[in-house]
Structures are given as structure tokens and as C-alpha cells.
């Protein structure tokens, strides 16, 4: 199975989600993260790295990447951080409607994963906890 986790810039939420999902599903899926408006070749944000360090995950080598249509078409499942991300993907590729969900929707949790960008470390911790809760509710 190929799973893609998607956020805006691929420097905060989706890299954290990638690390969390790889820890849980390393033996069940190929897991990558991508962004929709990506400053290419940027490392994960400092606070994302710190929040992951605190739970024993290392994303220091993460490099941001843009989601491409061929990657999206090749994926078995695409989980976005917000309803807006999902809508943008489906607007570009309506044929993917059966495999694009928000992370929270797929996990049966209300809401979206809020963007911690520019916030303090506590916002990143809250974001990581929401992603972890969703991952715990999912079985691949």
C-alpha cells in the first residue's frame, strides 16, 4: 500500500504525520508526505523537529516536496490535513475521490489538523497529538 500525507508546505504537519505513521505502519505501507504549495528543498520547521524529538522521532533529514498528479494517481490512499487540501486535490483530479480523505475524516475524528506554522512549540505539540490520535484510530 502507498499512503501519501498532505499539508500545505510539507514543512510542519505532513512531515510530522509521516514520522508518526511510519512508526505505526512501517510494515504495512510505503508512507510519504507532500505539500500543495511547497518551497522545494526546505527542511522541516524547527518546532516540528523539536515536537518530534520529544516523542522519539527524528525528522531532521526531511526535505519538502510538492505533490504531483502522477504520485497522487499512483497512491492507494491520500490523507490531507484539512478539508481545503482535500478539495484542492479533488478539483485537480476528480477521479481520485475514492482515495482522498482528510486525516480526521478517515480516523472518525471531528475537524481538521490546524496549521501550527509560526506558532510556539505548544501549538506544534498539540498538532502532533492530534495526528497521533488520528493514527491510533486508523488501521491500514
34 catalytic, yes or no?
Answer: no
Domain locations along the chain: 2-137
- φ and ψ of 117, to 5 deg: -50, 130
Question: Which residue intervals of 26-120 are DSSP H helices?
Answer: 46-54, 69-74, 83-92, 103-107
Catalytic residue among 23, 115, 125, 126: 115
From the candidates 12, 13, 112, 127, which is the catalytic residue?
13
Q: How many CB atoms lie within 10 A of CB 119?
A: 16
Catalytic residue (one of 7, 12, 104, 127):
7
Domain boundaries 2-137, CATH class: alpha beta
* Per-residue confidence (pLDDT) for residue 41, from 0 to 100: 86
What does the pLDDT look like over 68-78, one tens digit per residue? 999 999 999 99
- Reduced to 3 states, what is the DSSP secondary structure of residue 66? strand
Residues 82-130: tens digit of each pLDDT: 999 999 999 999 999 999 999 999 999 999 999 999 999 999 999 999 9
Residue 7: active-site member = yes
CA distance 71 to 105: 22
125 is catalytic: no
35-50 pLDDT, tens digit each: 999 987 899 999 999 9
Amino acid at each position: 500500500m502507498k499512503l501519501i500525507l498532505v499539508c500545505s508546505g510539507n514543512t510542519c504537519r505532513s512531515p510530522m504525520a509521516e514520522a508518526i505513521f511510519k512508526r505505526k505502519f512501517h510494515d504495512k505501507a510505503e508512507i510519504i508526505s507532500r505539500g500543495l504549495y511547497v518551497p522545494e528543498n526546505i527542511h522541516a520547521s524547527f518546532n516540528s523537529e523539536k515536537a518530534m524529538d520529544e516523542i522519539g522521532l527524528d525528522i531532521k533529514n526531511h526535505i519538502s516536496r510538492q505533490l504531483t498528479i502522477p504520485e497522487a494517481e499512483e497512491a492507494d490512499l491520500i490523507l490531507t490535513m484539512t478539508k481545503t487540501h482535500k478539495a484542492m486535490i479533488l478539483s485537480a483530479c476528480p477521479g481520485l475521490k475514492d482515495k482522498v480523505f482528510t486525516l480526521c475524516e478517515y480516523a472518525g475524528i471531528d475537524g481538521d489538523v490546524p496549521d501550527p506554522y509560526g506558532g510556539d512549540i505548544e501549538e506544534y505539540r498539540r498538532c502532533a497529538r492530534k495526528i497521533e490520535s488520528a493514527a491510533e484510530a486508523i488501521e491500514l
